Amino acid sequence: MRVGFGWDLHRLAAGRPLILGGMEIPFEKGCLGHSDGDVVLHAVTDAILGASASGDIGDHFRDTDPKWKDARSFFFVKKALELAAEKGMKVGNIDITLILERPKLYDFKGEIAANVASLLGIDSSDVSFKAKTREGLGEAGRGEAVECFAVVLMEEVSK
Ligand code: MG
């Protein structure tokens, strides 16, 4: 087994859709970014790349490359899974913590977790998605940014 850790942060800005774990969440602001700015899937991608020691998201998808402009981030996750599979690894379980002051994600957490599970090809019971606030402190607390952490356990694919 191998463990991988991923972290990401995006600024929040008006006029952008808020896409978290592949789901569009109704809100007046969204993540700024070259791609769709899905901070959850970026942290997930980096965690998978980390577990398989395959570099980081910027190595594979440069944010200066027009090819990735407004790209849907599920593509990044799929590529990370492919690289891990080439090294004989698949995802066992993943634990995700999102830091976001607003909107409240209570009604969306289950669907986001199910979305991530389907993207990773694992059972929903192997995906944990937690949302927390920063109690008004720091960039995320002031609603200027959203931050995400992900820890993944990768297992050897049985032959
Ligand atoms: Mg990012």
Q: How many CB atoms neighbour CB 95 within 10 A?
A: 15
Q: Which band of pLDDT confidence, cut at 50, 70 and 90, is reported for residue 159?
A: low
User: Cα separation of 71 and 154, whole Å?
Assistant: 26
Can you give the pLDDT at residue 140?
94
Q: Where are the domains of the chain?
A: 2-156
User: Cα separation of 76 and 61, whole Å?
Assistant: 8
Task: Collapse the DSSP code of 100 into the 3-class scheme (helix H, G, I; strand E, B; otherwise coil) and give the result.
Answer: coil
Q: How many CB atoms neighbour CB 1 within 10 A?
A: 9
| CATH, range 2-156 | 3.30.1330.50
Each residue's pLDDT tens digit, 16-64 = 999 999 999 999 999 998 888 999 999 999 999 999 999 999 888 887 8
Tell me the CA–centroid distance for residue 140 and ligand 1, in Å. 15
Burial class (CB in 10 A: 0-12, 13-18, 19+), 106: exposed
Short-list 17, 18, 9, 21, CA closest to 96: 21
Tell me the CA–centroid distance for residue 36 and ligand 1, in Å. 9
Tell me the CA–centroid distance for residue 63 and ligand 1, in Å. 9
Q: Taking ligand 1, which is a single-atom ion, which protein residues have CB atoms under 5 Å away? A: 8, 42
Q: What is the pTM for the complete model shown?
A: 0.95
Tell me the CA–centroid distance for residue 49 and ligand 1, in Å. 14
Each residue's pLDDT tens digit, 71-117 = 889 999 999 999 999 999 999 999 999 999 999 999 999 999 999 99
Tell me the CA–centroid distance for residue 10 and ligand 1, in Å. 6
Q: Give me 1's structure tokens.
A: 């087994």
